[in-house]
Amino acid sequence: MSKHQSLAGLVVAVTGGGQGIGRAMALRLAEEGAKLAIADINGGAAQTVCDELRQRDVEAIAITVDVTRQADCERMVASVVEAYGRIDMMIANAGVIQVKQYLDIGEEDWDKVFAVNTKGVFLTTQAAARQMRKQTPIAEGRPKGKIVTLSSIAGRYGAGPMAPVIPHYRASKAAVISITQSAAYTFAPDITVNAICPGLVETDMWKLIDQQWTAIENWESGQAWKQRVSAVPLGRPQTADDVAGLAAFLASKDSDYMTGQSLNIEGGLTMS
């Protein structure tokens, strides 16, 4: 792994870091010189990414965490501090999705999506901010810490033909943007808090979306994915590495004067 060292020594924790976007962000930040804490409810997946990083001479630890539990989030932060002495950046990436028709969504469906996507983000940012406020700045003239949340363009706009089958997901991601803004006001000037809003990222999550959506609509497998990607002006699906690049910018000094923002990265699917 070629280290550019622009983030040399930065301590970063990533929830949901065992796969998909979380893994890609961890690998990119490690490439830039950061030390990583890979947190995931799937401890085995977190350890696999951790081992992958260590094989590339990156300092990394794995933590099993359920972000819907406050005690787990506090233990996660404590584990990072025990290992590295501080936490410079928390990426609240853990999330779930379900594709289901509006009138078929039950209380358990709603509660599960909100527990991870909204409550989990709140508890993660809360635990991270408590630690960050106590520590010295990353460097002179810089914040004491940075928090990045993962929302979605689905939480910002109408979602088009998907709106009828992901209302609980859309609402949970809109709430993430609201939490991000509240946290940015609360913790300024010590901590910056920004949200990333990806679009159609080619991950296992979108495979699940395609599987559930095509079943509802009686389409052929893959049709939902092809239909959505065909609307992207840049002409290709988004990769997890695309999102990771934005995370690297938010980790860098270049974004120190940015807080409370929700940044779209979606190939022009929604323009603002």
Catalytic residue annotation = 169
**DSSP tag of 134:** H
CB 13 within 8 A of CB 87: yes
CB 41 within 8 A of CB 64: yes
Phi/psi at 137 (nearest 5 deg)? -60, 160
Token pair 């049709």 is found at 223
Residue 169's alpha-carbon distances to 51, 96, 166, in angstroms, are 32, 8, 5
Q: Is 221 left (phi over 0), alpha (psi -120 to 50) or beta?
A: beta
Residue 165 is encoded by which pair of tokens?
């089958």
Residues 6+ apart with CB under 8 A from 182: none
